[in-house]
Amino acid sequence: MRARAHGSGSGTERVAVSPFDGGRRRQDIAPREASVWFQMGRIYKRLDQPDQALSHFCTALDLKPSAADVNLIKAAIEKIRVSDESEEEI
């Protein structure tokens, strides 16, 4: 988590910013965009939260992405239980 300074005048308040903030904002702006759901799934996978990752990947598929994106999402689903470090060795 990053900290970001907020406030005006002499006082500055530090607010923690989650890495998910950007992804959640994108989901709010483009809730029917498969690529946003796919990227959030990748984030959850890297955080070792495979159930959340799978949920986001499935939502991405439900949104009817392009054929190329369908292949990427299906490949990610197949590798959902493989750690990112192991995946890089393949």
The predicted-structure confidence for 68-81, as pLDDT tens digits, reads as follows: 999 999 999 999 98
What is the domain count for the chain? 1
Furthest-apart CA atoms within the chain: distance in Å:
54
Q: Which pLDDT score, from 0 to 100, does residue 44 have?
A: 93
DSSP 52: H
Residue 9 domain-assigned (yes or no): no
Residue 61 domain-assigned (yes or no): yes
Range of the domain at 78: 20-83
pTM: 0.65
Is 81 in contact with 45 (CB distance < 8 Å)?
A: no
